[in-house]
Amino acid sequence: MTLKRVEKFEKDRESLNETVMKYANLNLKRFYSLDSQVYNDGALPAKVKELLGLVASLVLRCDDCILYHLIQCQKNDITDDELEEAITIGLAVGGSITVPHLRRVFRVWDEMKEKTNDKQ
């Protein structure tokens, strides 16, 4: 999984969401709206909510969801330590079956950090 995978994922996700919206009825649109709104700042800051989404996705072992939330974590300035603690909770809850996913999390995290450092 290279950084190109992250860029491809974001492009594919946008395109696929456009296709879904072409067919979406009111209920599907409401779900999409709810899904985006619940991650906004509220009683919990957005960055905490993204970490919660990441942990839930790790436990459910959904690679697309993991990658999406990992990207959002970077956009919300999650630190390495915050990421590691959240991932460790996912490991404790989800068990060793999550290990392959957490390996990919840290690899992609490194790649995203490298690209950010290259821009500076």
Q: CA 87, CA 20: separation in Å to the nearest integer?
A: 31
Helix, strand, coil percentages (3-state) for the chain, rounded to 5, are 85, 0, 15
**Torsion sign across C-alpha atoms 89, 94, 99, 100:** negative
Domains of the chain (ranges; CATH) run: 3-119 (1.20.1290.10)
pLDDT at 4 over 90: no
Q: What does the pLDDT look like over 64-106, one tens digit per residue? A: 999 999 999 999 999 999 999 999 999 999 999 999 999 999 9
pTM: 0.90
